[in-house]
Amino acid sequence: MKKNESYEELVKGIWRDNPVFVQVLGMCPMLAVTNSAINAIAMGMASMFVLVGSSFLVSTFRHVIPKQVRISCFIIIIATFVTIADYTLLALVPKVHKELGAFIPLIVANCLILGRQEAFASRYPTKLAVMDALGMAGGFLLALLSLGAVREILGDGALFGVRLFSENFEPWIVMILPPGGFLTLGVILLFFNWFKYKKDEFLADVAEAERSGN
């Protein structure tokens, strides 16, 4: 039972409640840095570190933090983790850090992270909170990666810097420029809408069949 519960928290973030595709949260860093798959992964890992770390702390201290000032406390905890992530990336992968630029400090303002602290980590035990954070961050990473891969393949004809097509491929420059971000996410959301629409139709059909069967 216990194992099931934490497994459930882990999985829901990746698909059913995917933070980007279903809840449409945390889009600012999402669109800005996904012009290549490698940037998307760096951003996703940094966000994952911040989300898991701050969920752990917030959930551990949830009985100590006074209700009235909780938001400020969460923000200070998040900002601390973001600073750590910022300096770590600068030391390990300076090239990627330079490309992401100001968007690493901006993880602080990602509504996804603050939202998870408020909605989940401050109410549940540490183990569940960490599982939930891992799931949500995994879903976020997945979304970043799919967007980054699509944009890099179409806009640059490459994936992780490896050429995919022959010389004749004419890259769609617009995909790695800002409009490409909006368009790609729009089309992916369209696909999710269609998926949901089909599922609702299917469920309605099943209900109809059951009613007529009885």
Partner 1 sequence: MENLPWIFISALLVNNFVLTYFLGLCPFLGVSNSLETSFRLGLATTFVMLVTAVCAWVLNTYILIHAPYLRLICFIVVIASTVQFIEMLIKKLSPALFRAMGIFLPLITTNCAILGLAIFATNRGYGFVEGIVYALGAGIGFTLAMVLLAGLREESELSNIPKLIQGTAMNLIIAGVLSMAFMGFAGLFSSS
User: Considering only residues 119, 164, 190, 207, which one is a binding residue for partner 1 as defined by CB under 8 A?
Assistant: 190
Of the pair 108, 121, the CB lying nearest partner 1 is at: 108
Rounded Cα–Cα distance for residues 128 and 3 (Å): 10
Q: Does 109 bind partner 1 (CB under 8 A)?
A: yes
122, exposed or middle or buried, with CB in 10 Å at 0-12, 13-18, 19+? buried
Q: Does 43 bind partner 1 (CB under 8 A)?
A: no
Q: Does 88 bind partner 1 (CB under 8 A)?
A: no
- Binding segment (CB under 8 A) for partner 1, from list 6-14, 88-96, 97-105, 132-140: 97-105
Which residue has tokens 């490309």?
99
**Shortest gap between Cβ of 162 and partner 1 (angstroms)?**
27
Q: Does 27 bind partner 1 (CB under 8 A)?
A: yes
Q: How far is CA 30 from the centre of its chain?
A: 8
- Binding segment (CB under 8 A) for partner 1, from list 49-57, 91-99, 145-153, 189-197: 189-197
Rounded Cα–Cα distance for residues 35 and 105 (Å): 18
Q: Does 65 bind partner 1 (CB under 8 A)?
A: no
Helix (H) or strand (E) holding 208: helix 178-213
User: Who contacts 169 (Cβ-Cβ below 8 Å, separation ≥6)?
Assistant: 157
Rounded Cα–Cα distance for residues 124 and 116 (Å): 11
Binding site for partner 1 (CB under 8 A): 24, 27-32, 72, 75-76, 79-80, 82-83, 86-87, 101-102, 105-106, 108-111, 114, 174, 177-183, 185-187, 189-190, 193-194, 197
